[in-house]
């Protein structure tokens, strides 16, 4: 056995071929600080080297887009001189190693992305995936991640208004913690991150720099997890929401006073990433003096300072004449502010340690010259994921199936989770969790925005292209139920190791499905995130593209709700159940069926017509409730409408309808006066009233039994 230690570049995650390319471009060996910087900027997390080519397929233009991909967050116009900034990002690997801080700092990071463009954060949503809750590890990760999200969001005063949780065996070792944030900004306060103006001053704002988070982008976010993960805990950042609150208010006041040239969040790869990306976007150089960086710990080496991922820090460019004003505002907010460098016209990133040059690199080699890889996709020849254990007999009655579905971890009430979050702080929340398919927030002019976050890894695992498209359609369907027109979309693409052909196939097909759905709906992608290498020795996670979508509705007082609202109302079915599929369904999981496709073809014309019909009916007040048919099919959707409104229903279904087939984004249950429901595209299938859900010739259950099943589903695991 060889005892030769691995080359220093391999220890830092660079391949031999990548290191040879660095030597060729530099014409010399990189120094220690330079190699540390390059290893992070050339990591999967920062360079997107296995996904950047694919992402070019996504449509990014639209009439409402104010800022698209490339900035800290995308921004769409909502009228009256206001923009909504939003983005979703992952903190998966840190959360698998240290779930409380991993999830908490995931929230802190996405908040900074939003106020980095000049927007005040007004809402958080989260998309979470864990192993089966029967697992002690999964229960621990769930408990601590939820606590971390609540801790940060509640402390900083930003409401958590929505989200989703799924439990699947494939996430046992690789939980997913995706956080989405929205912010509100007047157009004139929006700012970009490009550094500009040689001679301008680089000012570091916020917390002290320490050794926490060193190597997070490469150690945690760009490799598979395995044995020894506990040793990676020092790579997980530590968050302080109270420091971030002061930093947030400080940055917004600086922007209101027009004191900043540009602003950038310090996230993955710390100063290295933020400074070099600012320089690249502005086509300038930067000199950074690490000797001026305020430190939490003495004796930090230059490379440690440059790659530290300590939280609650921002980097800004300031004209020399305005530096004193900037420092005065920062003192008012008790936010540390330190000039640490200058903008140059050199096109180089120089790291100084007083009079010593610790690094001197072309900006291009850090940001633009990392090789982009072509994937080698190949569809798997056999199922990738083992069949789950059956918990429901094949001969179970429809009534037994419905009760089992409502009690199952993936469909049970999320109340034990979301009650740990404050959904109404800031007093904008019109619809909170379990009141509507989308969260709704009021805007100052009386209109509102609706927000939804969606994804279904099980269905994407069955058929990556159609499953990913379904996630887009379902997100849009949720907005339609609130009465909102989609304005823009963000995404977080969570996949396994892209160097493996079957994962490359999942990723390639999923991006194509998202692109096709966005083009069909006319919804641009304004930003997003990619999280790869979510894989353990047992195999990859389900391919999990998570979609976040924002829409606008003209009247906040007419925001839709999902619960039946009035006895005697007619119940209508909008859209089609004809393409319903048992593949990848919750019922198939309960029956222990193998995850396999394909999923049915998608009729885009029918989907758009259904969305338009529901959106019009909700926004004009013709219906009292609207709910999309998704997991568990029509039977579960009807039960959810009954439970949310505390009203029963008597329903008769056309013979061709399979009550548990799933049709994400294709069909809706609406209720209202019958004379308002009758019309093209709507089929009357029942009437609201009583204390039971009675589906003719299928099942007849008391609401109390349905309520008991759904409310107790997660209680035993939290």
Q: Is the pTM of this model over 0.85?
A: yes
> For domain 44-56+65-223+233-367, which architecture applies?
Alpha-Beta Complex (3.90)
Residue 217 has pLDDT above 90, yes or no: no
Count CA atoms within 13 Å of residue 210 on its CB side: 16
pLDDT-derived band of residue 1, with 50, 70 and 90 as boundaries? very low
Tell me the pLDDT tens digit for each residue of 337-378. 999 999 999 999 999 999 999 999 999 999 999 999 999 999
Residue 709 has pLDDT above 50, yes or no: yes
Q: Which is catalytic among the residues 50, 91, 407, 624?
A: 91
d(Cα 412, Cα 710) in Å, to the nearest integer? 5
Q: What is the rounded average pLDDT for all residues in the chain?
A: 94
pLDDT band at 235 (very low <50, low <70, confident <90, very high): low
pLDDT digits (tens, 9 = 90+) for 272-290: 999 999 999 999 999 999 9
Do 633 and 669 contact (CB within 8 A), yes or no?
Answer: no
Over residues 54-65, mean pLDDT: 97
At 421 the pLDDT is 95
Active-site option among 9, 45, 50, 407: 45
The answer to whether 590 and 525 are in contact (CB under 8 A) is no
Mean pLDDT score, 8-35: 94
Query: Two tokens at 601?
Result: 């073809």
Q: What is the pLDDT of residue 65?
A: 98
pLDDT 10s digits, 453-481: 999 999 999 999 999 999 999 999 999 99
Per the annotation, the verdict on 80 as an active-site residue is: no
The pLDDT-based confidence of 583 (bands split at 50, 70, 90) is confident
3-state secondary structure of 528: strand
pLDDT at 219 over 60: no
Q: What is the mean pLDDT of residues 435-458?
A: 97
Give the domain ranges of the chain. 44-56+65-223+233-367
DSSP 535-547: EETTEEPPPEEEE
Question: Is pLDDT above 90 for 655?
Answer: no
The secondary structure of 138-206 as a DSSP string is HHHHHHHHHHHHHHHHHHHT--EEEEEEEE-GGGSSS-EEEEEEEEEEEGGG--------TTPEEEEEE
**pLDDT beyond 60 at 686:** yes
- Percent of the chain past pLDDT 90, that is, above it, reads 89
Averaged pLDDT for residues 633-651 = 98
* Residue 670 contacts residue 587 (beta carbons within 8 Å): no
Q: pLDDT tens for residues 92-129?
A: 999 999 999 999 999 999 999 999 999 999 999 999 99
Does the annotation count 9 as an active-site position?
no
């Amino acid at each position: 056995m060889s005892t030769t230690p691995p080359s220093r570049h391999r220890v830092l995650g660079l391949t031999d071929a990548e290191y040879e390319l660095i030597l060729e471009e530099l014409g010399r060996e990189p120094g220690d600080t330079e190699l540390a910087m390059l290893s992070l900027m050339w990591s999967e997390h920062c360079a997107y080297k296995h996904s950047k080519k694919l992402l070019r397929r996504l449509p990014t233009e639209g009439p409402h887009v104010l800022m698209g991909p490339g900035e800290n967050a995308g921004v769409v116009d909502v009228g009256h001189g206001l923009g909504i900034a939003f983005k979703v990002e992952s903190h998966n690997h840190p959360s698998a190693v240290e779930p409380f801080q991993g999830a908490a700092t995931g929230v802190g990071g996405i908040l900074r992305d939003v106020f980095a463009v000049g927007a005040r954060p007004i809402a958080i949503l989260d998309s979470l995936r864990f192993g089966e809750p029967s697992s002690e590890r999964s229960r621990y990760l769930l408990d601590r991640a939820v606590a971390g999200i609540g801790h940060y969001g509640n402390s900083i005063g930003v409401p958590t208004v929505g989200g989703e949780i799924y439990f699947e065996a494939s996430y046992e070792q690789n939980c997913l913690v995706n956080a989405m944030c929205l912010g509100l900004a007047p157009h004139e306060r929006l700012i970009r991150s490009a550094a500009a103006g040689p001679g301008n001053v680089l000012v570091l704002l916020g917390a002290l720099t320490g050794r926490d988070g060193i190597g997070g982008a490469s150690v945690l976010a760009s490799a598979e997890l395995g044995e020894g993960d506990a040793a990676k805990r020092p790579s997980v950042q530590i968050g302080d929401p109270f420091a971030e609150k002061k930093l947030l208010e400080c940055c917004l006041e600086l922007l209101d006073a027009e004191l900043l040239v540009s602003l950038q969040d310090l996230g993955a790869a710390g100063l290295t990433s933020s400074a070099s990306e600012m320089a690249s976007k502005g086509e300038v150089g930067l000199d950074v003096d690490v000797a001026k960086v305020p430190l939490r710990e003495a004796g930090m080496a230059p490379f440690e300072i440059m790659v530290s991922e300590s939280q609650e820090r921002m980097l800004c460019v300031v004209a020399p004449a305005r530096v004193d004003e900037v420092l005065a505002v920062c003192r008012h907010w008790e936010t540390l502010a330190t000039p640490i460098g200058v903008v140059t016209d050199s096109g180089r990133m120089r790291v100084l340690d007083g009079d010593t040059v610790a690094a001197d690199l072309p900006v291009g080699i850090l940001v633009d010259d990392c090789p982009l890889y072509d994937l080698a996709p190949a569809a798997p020849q056999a199922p990738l994921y083992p069949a789950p254990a059956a918990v429901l007999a094949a001969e179970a009655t429809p009534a037994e199936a419905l009760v089992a579905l409502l009690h199952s971890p993936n469909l049970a009430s999320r109340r034990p989770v979301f009650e740990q979050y404050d959904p109404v702080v800031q007093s904008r929340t019109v619809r909170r969790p379990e009141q509507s398919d989308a969260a709704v927030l009021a805007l100052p002019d009386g209109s509102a925005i609706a927000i939804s976050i969606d994804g279904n890894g099980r269905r994407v695992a069955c058929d990556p292209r159609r499953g990913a498209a379904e996630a887009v359609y379902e997100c849009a369907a949720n907005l339609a139920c609130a009465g909102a027109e989609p304005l823009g979309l963000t995404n977080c693409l969570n996949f396994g190791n892209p160097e493996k052909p079957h994962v490359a196939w999942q990723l390639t097909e999923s991006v194509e499905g998202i692109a096709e759905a966005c083009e069909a709906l006319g919804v641009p992608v304004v930003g997003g995130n990619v999280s790869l290498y979510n894989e353990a020795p047992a195999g990859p996670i389900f391919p999990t593209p998570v979609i976040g979508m924002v829409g606008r509705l003209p009247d906040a007082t007419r925001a839709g709700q999902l619960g039946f609202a009035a006895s005697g109302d007619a119940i209508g079915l909008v859209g089609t159940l004809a393409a319903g599929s048992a593949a990848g369904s919750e019922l198939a999981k309960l029956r222990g069926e193998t995850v396999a496709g394909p999923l049915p073809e998608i009729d885009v014309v029918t989907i758009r017509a259904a969305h338009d019909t529901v959106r019009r009916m909700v926004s004009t007040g013709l219906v009292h409730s609207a709910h999309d048919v998704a997991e568990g099919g029509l039977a579960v959707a009807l039960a959810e409408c009954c439970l949310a409104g505390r009203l029963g229903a008597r329903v008769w279904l056309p013979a061709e309808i399979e009550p548990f087939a799933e049709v994400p984004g294709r069909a809706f249950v609406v209720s209202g006066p019958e004379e308002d429901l009758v019309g093209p595209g709507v089929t009357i299938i029942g009437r609201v009233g009583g204390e039971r859900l009675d589906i003719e010739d299928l099942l007849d259950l008391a609401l109390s039994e349905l309520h008991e099943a759904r409310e107790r589903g997660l209680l035993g695991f939290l």
